[in-house]
Structure 1
Amino acid sequence: MGRRQFITAAGVTGIAGLAGCSGGPSSDATPTDTDGDSGDDSDGGGTETDGGANAATNVGIVYATGGLGDGSFNDQAQQGLQQAESAFDLQTNSLQPQEVSEFASLQQQFASSTDPSYDLISCIGFLQADALGGTATQYPDQDFQIVDSVPTNDDDEQYDNVASYTFREHEGSYLAGTMAGLLTLDSFSAGAGETGSDSTNLGFVGGVESSLIQKFEAGFMAGANAVNTDIDVQTNYTGSFNDPSAGREAASSMYSSGSDIVFHAAGNTGTGVFQAAQEAGKFAIGVDRDQSVTRESYADVILASMVKRVDTAVYSAVEAKVNDSFETGSTTTLGLDDNGVELVLGQQLGGELPDSIVTEVESTRQSIIDGEIDVPSDPSNV
């Protein structure tokens, strides 16, 4: 087993069951057969046809703000759709919003279409929830998927034409915090970064502050504090998932204030975190995809990535729709126990980590799965 896959060895059966047996997302989070950034330059409101004109199943996908090419959340969703295209007879169209205010109109553009008529509309990201509430009500016969949210009506009930897919992000983030906490207490150098044994300071950069992104923060803080209660985690929410300059500024301030390692959950804003890490000669932890691959030019400072299997969520929904087993009004939640989230060591730096830290993180992962560690999902409970 390679060191980069030490955390993903367990739970393969669980993820395979979710993805089906017809070529869905691999349980190995190392995307060695993907090209990372999508390079898609289509604008919000534009429609891109990816499938054949005579496909039996039509799928529309509305991406999160930040768009394709973020090397993170949206690209992971696209990977799931592409894998579904390889497995099934599909026609797919995608829309990329520039602003949150565009979600409703883009969702409705798909829902109102009759040529083609969409069998499934996939909405990527929790910021689509409010718009989807109105769209789902307006189009009660249309099936929707939403990733990262469970929208409810005025009676606090799930919409009966929406299937929700969520994750236990705090579990994977706890592993990131454990690794970072252990490293910041040690003198470690690899690639373009280093830590100092006299440091007890880490950083977290979030995108839009919300209960979802706070799950990343809470898990990271809890994992670090479990190593040593004296470890402080600086936190900054930039308010955007597509502002690398803000990410760079936030992380630079943290590194200047003594942080050895900064973990981001900020989409394309996180690219700026990696830039700041290189400039400061420190380390960073990526999110959603293996960013040492999708942001290869920063691989010399990316220790690991907290991978979130949005690809599995998208693929599973499409597969269920194709097989007439799509369950609306339901929520599927993925965590460490089924490889829905996982910590993947960096392509360049993973092999340099001390064996003792690798072993401790692996042991911690199993303890979470076994229920021996209860990971908080709210920073106020850390």
Structure 2
Amino acid sequence: MSLAAATNEGLAEISNYLIYSSMAVYTLAFFAHMAEWLFGSRSKVARTAAALTAPKEGATAAAPAVTVRAAGGAAVLDKPKVVTRAAAGTRDVPDGPGAHGGTEKGDLYGRIAVSLTVLAFLLEASGVIARAVSVQRAPWGNMYEFSTTFSTVVVGVYLALLLAKKNVRWAGLPLVTTVLLDLGFAVTVLYTESDQLVPALDSYWLWIHVSTAIFCGAVFYLGAVGSILYLFRDSYEAKLARGDQPGKFATSVMERLPAAATLDKFAYRVNAAVFPLWTFTIIAGAIWAGDAWGRYWGWDAKEVWSFITWVAYAAYLHARATAGWKGRKAAYIALVAFLCFLWNYYGVNMFVNSLHSYAGV
């Protein structure tokens, strides 16, 4: 039986239709997320500024006024409420409401956006499964299949966090935007006809090694989004702390995000949680290389950049756990680490001669 005959062309075509359909629904979700941000309330945009005007802990401040009122012939003292920072050098400011501004209209658009994202995720996941069934193998034997599976897992992780009642709706707009870009690039530049694997890839390690790499990349992506938004939100809070007045648009957007400290903590937690799995991914790849090529490590470009990515994330976690490297410096390291992952994902396969390029783009 020839390789071409072993491929179910009908299912492969259905897979393509499902991927295109998911792109159409993701586009609708993108507009719904835009509406969620645009039509949300701006009535709460002063609360971060109000929190930042509170005196620092340990700072000398004027004695607060005490009001004396009569209550049944006795004098009662009304002590004013005092807001202080959580700790010296940190900002104790409230989180934004997610993406919507807390109004029914903003929340309605947000729920529509999430519903459309769920529908698009189901269509895309069905497309990935149909592709797998069409060739009776794991659906990540080339860059096109890896990209479609990767974006599916990214959205799946995001929806799982929402289902767990985590405040991550702020990630919806950048998520859907990048998923659309990823799928557009996949169907135009990376598209490869459904076909069987070359012998070197025909191994059970394909299920283990590549699936863990995809999942790690999806979580690293969410961590990178958190780090980018942290940098913007931190700059916004710093301006308010200095007494500067940001523009109305920046204020409207930034107040719908969690506080900078919350975004920083989110990025750290997701990166730290998946780092051990990335370590396993590299070890599994080395074991597979030993089975396929007779050596565990050969300084191939993909192997080298996988290790560089590991070192970059290890440096980030070490820096983040060191008091002097929390905040912006650590966020920059996290973004460099994710850029290393992206280069290993796209650049090595497309621009560098590697043993891992035999599957074609």
Do both share a fold (TM > 0.5)?
A: no
**Greater per-residue strand proportion:** 1
TM (norm. structure 1) is 0.28
Q: Point out the structure with max Rg over C-alpha.
A: 2
TM-score (norm 2): 0.29
